[in-house]
Structures are given as C-alpha cells and as structure tokens.
Amino acid sequence: MDDVIEDVTIVGGGDSGLLTALAIELMNPGIDVSVIDDFGRNVPQVGKSTYRSIGKILHDTLAIDEQRFVAAVKPVWKCTVYFRDWCDSEFHFPFDVPVKFPNEDATDAVETCYYYYDELYDSPDHRTKGEEIVDQGMSPWHYSPREGRYKKYEHIAYHLNTERFNSFLRELCRERSVSLIDDEIVSVETTGNRIDRVRSKSQAYESDLFVDASGFSRVLKGELGGEFRDFGFPLDTAYNVRVDRPLSEVIPATVVETGDHGWFWHIDTYDNRDLGYVYASEYVSDEAARAEFLDHVAEIDHEDGSVSAADLDRYEFSSGYFEQPWAENCLAIGNAVGFVEPLQSTGLTVNAQAAVTLSNLLSTHGRVNDDWIRETYNDWVRRSWESIYDFISVHYHYSAGDTAFWEAMESIDVSPRTERFVEEFDRNGFGTHIDPTQNDDDLSDLLVFRPINFYEIMRKMGATSAFYEDNQFDVSEDTRDEEEQYYRSVTNDVNNYLSIEEVYRGLLGE
C-alpha cells in the first residue's frame, strides 16, 4: 500500500525551504509542516535577483499580500536583464518582449517583424516599457486617472535583500502554523533509498516526507545520492561584495558585464548595491580573479578604494541537477537538487515554482506518495532545468571574446532543442512563433523559455536569419508611423511613472 503523507519535515530554513513550507501548508490544509534549521545563523547577504513569474507565485499563488510584502521586504523592482557590455554588445532582455511583435495572424505581421529585425532591434529609440523604465531609472508604479488609483506595470520581477526576505518568510510561516524548529541535523538514518529518521544532537525526527532544502550542503540528498546531470559550464566560483548607494541611483535591472574569465553582476537592493564576479577557476586563479573584480568594483564604487580583498565573500558552485530529486520519502529542492550559473537570475524563481508544483501535486493526488507522483514531479524538474540550460547556453553560443575562457564558451554544447530554434530562426525568422500572451496564466510553464525569448537574445547578439536576409521586405510608411507613434507613447507614459524614492516616500510614507 502506498504512503499517505500526513506530515512533512523540511531540513533547511533558507528561502527555498520556507517557500516550500508555505506552499504545502496553503494547498494541503491539515498537513503538519515543520522546518528544521539553526535559525540563529546569519542569513547570507548576497542580493537576490528573480525572474518575471516571481510576483504571480508570491502574491497570487501563495496569497502573500503585496503591500505588506513591499513594506517589510522593501524590494527593488526589476524590468530587464541589462547586458551593459556582453562581449562588446549592449542590450536588454526585457520581461515584456512579446509587445514588440504583432500577433502572427495580423495582416502586417511579417512586415512588422522584418522592420524590427532590420532596424529596430538595436535602436535606443525603440524600447519596450520595461526597457524605458530602466533607461529612466523609474519604478513600475504610476497613477491612473481613469481608475483613480496607483497601478503597477506587471512585467516585472524583484531584487531582494535576503535577510529581509527570509525574515519575512519566517514571520509568515509562524502565522500560518508552520513549525520552525531551531535545531541542527547531524546524522541521517536510511534503509536503501528511504530515510528512516534524522537526528540532531538531542533529538530524532521521523516524517512521512522529508524535504532537503539545505542548499549545497545536501544534508539528506548527499546520503542518498543519485545520478547528477552536470551541465558542463566551467563557471564555478563567485566573489561578492556590497557597497553603499543612495536610493536615487537604483538601476531597476540586473546589470551584467563581461569579464576576462566570466561576467560581473550588479544588483541594486533597497539597502545597497550588490556586486559580484562569476568566473571559471579552470581559466584563472582565485588571486587573479579577485584582483580583476576589485578593479571592476573600483570603477563602480563612489568611494575609490573603499573595498578591499578582506571585504569579499567567495562562493563555489556547480551547474547541474539530480535527475531524480524525489526518491521514496525524500525530495530535494532548491540548491540541494540543482543550480544553473546565475546569468538570467532563474534560481530563486524556479525553486519557488518547484515548491508550488510539488504542493499542487500533493493536493490533487490525495497526498499519496507513489511512483506516479514522484515521476511526474521529477519530470517537471528535468524539463525546467533543461529549459534554463538551453536558454543560458545561447548567450555563450553567440558570444565572442579573445581570452581562452570566451573562446571555449563559443563552442559550448547546445541541446537539440536549441539547435532547432537556431535553425527555425534562420529559416522562418520571428514569425512562426509569435505568442504575445506567453500563457502567463499557466504557472506550470512560466519558467520554460519559449522561442521568442531565444530569438530576442540571438538577434541582439548578432544572429541573422536567411528568411529576412534573402527576402527584402518593404516596410510601408504606415507601419513606420504606427511603430514610431507606439514607441513615443511608451516614452511619454514612463515619464509619468514614480521613481523608487517616490514609491517608498509616498506609497509607504517613508
């Protein structure tokens, strides 16, 4: 007889563990959910960047009041990933990409797509609303006279201070009857692939389902093992530091710039500017990477020389995932199951969606732990991580650099799915895959990158399409005028948006 899950024990009180607890408790009333961690330890201070579906997950699916969230966590709203210098190219990847393209059934769809391909794709005067918000340094909030209230442009994500975010999630867990147990697991007792119990120095814990949310420590998964799918990205180490920055200088985007052996990130949170360097230790020593990062920080930090090597945090990671995160009565989530180098900021968001997917499966399957539910969940995890790998690999496939690292990255393996996208873009251009709706109401699919996302990045990195190159389409004056009018309206609209300072001073009374 299959097990019915009556209680869940989560090992690890980081963001993934707490989000999993909240999701399970909300979607499975009556289940007993506990989170075990040493809650006295400091929360890592690295800034968290997220992807576009995080707002729907937090505020719609997990029913977290948005105004309360903003007041407590003080996020910075993010509208794009801004590649300020990606192998000598400058471009945005905005979350509102589909607005650039007409519906494929429109009579002028091919003409408009050609116009974008040929002239508008790298034009600083033809930005989406998300790109314009970044360019003007605004928030997504604006006053709507028609509705008589403030509204938010929805195609956004968050930059989060991890300490504020984690503290807020703990508060929600306590309110929603999730038990937070201040303890530390020191041993795991197993029979085959099944966990019998876990122990701290003073107590044993048994459970119907154990969830490993212990990050790269993999306290539970490390005992059970399993096939690990290594993505082969050589990037495996990061330096990180925070510098002071006034709220008036916030950039509402994750900023990315190329380094000699990797890339730099720049994440503005409410409290400070979080800077980092992700690099491949195979190609550079830690000392040389540290020196390169410090030089980069000195160019950004207002107080030259205020950051030294002693101020830096260092992290190691590997890109890949366990192909069977759920085996028997143990499921791994968050960094315990996998990680992809953080170029498009997918980590926290995919982990939050994994928590929702798990919780939905438990609810709709009567909380029965059987082969079907485990394989269904494992298949979702595989598809999600492979989709992220495919999208990240495109950024390197079209890159160009003169160091050994960048030369190696140009020949990085791409999947058959990615090869198909490349071939179809060459053969058909944008037109056959236009989907302006992006199925935004289908949370189960929000992290699967679609063809239009690939094509947007590819074109901005110099990819060409024989469909457009061999067929010189005429662009009518009507189409040009219509597009110009639209982009002028975007600029004018964003001129009236609130700044980050105005939001916190006005809407929240700070």
DSSP string of 280-332, one letter each residue: -TTTS-HHHHHHHHHHHHHHH-SSTT---GGG-EEEE---EEES-SEETTEEE
β-pair partners for 196: none
Give me the pLDDT at residue 225, please.
86
Percent of the chain with pLDDT over 70: 94
The pLDDT value given to residue 156: 96
pLDDT band at 300 (very low <50, low <70, confident <90, very high): confident
Contact 81, 93 (CB under 8 A): yes
Axis-axis angle for helices 477-495, 129-136 (nearest 10): 40
In a domain, 217, yes or no: yes
Kindly state whether residues 298 and 425 are assigned to the same domain.
Answer: no
Range name among 11-25, 29-43, 98-112, 378-392 with the lowest pLDDT average:
98-112
Structural domain containing residue 286: 240-316
pLDDT tens column, 187-200 = 999 999 999 999 99
Torsion angle of the four alpha carbons 400, 406, 408, 411, in this order, in degrees rounded to the nearest 10: -30
C-alpha span between 72 and 83 (Å, rounded): 30
Same domain flag for 64 and 163? yes
Q: Is the pLDDT of residue 433 over 80?
A: no
Burial of 445 (0-12, 13-18, 19+ CB in 10 A): middle
Residue 295, in any domain of the structure = yes
Give the C-alpha separation, 81 to 267, whole Å.
10
Give the model's pLDDT for residue 510: 54
- For residue 442, is pLDDT > 60? no
Supply the mean pLDDT for the chain.
92
Q: Which residue has the higher pLDDT, 100 or 83?
A: 83
Give the mean pLDDT of 386-412: 93
68 within some domain: yes
For residues 357 and 330, give the distance between their C-alpha atoms in angstroms, rounded to a whole number: 16
- Tell me if 462 is assigned to some domain: yes
Residue reference for tokens 């989060």: 160
Q: In the predicted model, what is the mean pLDDT of residues 346-351?
A: 92
Per-residue pLDDT, 100: 86
Report the C-alpha gap between 335 and 333 in whole angstroms.
Answer: 6
Q: What is the pLDDT of residue 443?
A: 39
Residues 429 and 489 in one domain: yes
pLDDT at 441: 40
- What phi and psi values does residue 210 have, to the nearest 5 degrees? -100, 135
pLDDT classification of 126: cutoffs 50, 70, 90: very high
CATH of the domain at 359: 3.50.50.60
Residue that is last in its domain, among 333, 356, 386: 386
Query: Which residue's entry shows tokens 């400058």?
Result: 90
- Mean pLDDT in residue range 376-397: 94
Quote the DSSP letter at residue 162: H
Instruction: Note the pTM of the prediction, 2 decimals.
Output: 0.94
Q: Does residue 502 lie in a domain region?
A: no
133-150 average pLDDT score: 93
For residue 105, tell me if it sits in a domain: yes
The domain tally of the chain equals: 3
Q: 154 lies in a domain?
A: no
The Cα 53–Cα 286 span in angstroms is 35
197 and 71, same structural domain? yes
pLDDT (average), residues 155-169: 96
Q: Spell out the SS3 assignment of 330-396.
A: EEECHHHCEECCCCCCCHHHHHHHHHHHHHHHHHHCCCEECHHHHHHHHHHHHHHHHHHHHHHHHHH
Closest Cα partner for 462 from 195, 71, 87, 45? 87
Cβ-Cβ contacts under 8 Å for 492 (sequence gap 6 or more): none
More confident residue, 458 or 444: 458
- Same domain membership, residue 105 and residue 32: no
3-state secondary structure 380-394: HHHHHHHHHHHHHHH
The pLDDT score that the predictor gives to residue 303 is 62
The region of weakest confidence among 292-296, 427-431, 464-468 is 427-431
Q: Please identify, among 357, 386, 415, the residue that sits at the C-terminal boundary of a domain.
A: 386
pLDDT at residue 457 is higher than 60:
yes
Does 15 fall in a domain? yes
pLDDT at 377 over 70: yes
71 in the same domain as 46: yes
Share of the chain above pLDDT 90, in %: 81
Residues 113 and 72 in one domain: no
DSSP one-letter string for 126-151 = ---HHHHHHHHTB-SEEEETTTTEEE
- Whether the pLDDT of residue 436 is over 50: the answer is no
Task: State the angle between helix axes of 162-175 and 15-27 in degrees (0 to 180), rounded to the nearest 10.
Answer: 30
Query: What would the mean pLDDT of 209-222 be, rounded to a whole number?
Result: 96
User: pLDDT class for 1, splitting at 50, 70, 90?
Assistant: very low
Q: Is the pLDDT confidence value at 448 over 90?
A: no
Neighbours of 464 (CB within 10 A): 13
Residue 432 clears pLDDT 70, i.e. is over it: no
The confidence score (pLDDT) of residue 98 equals 87
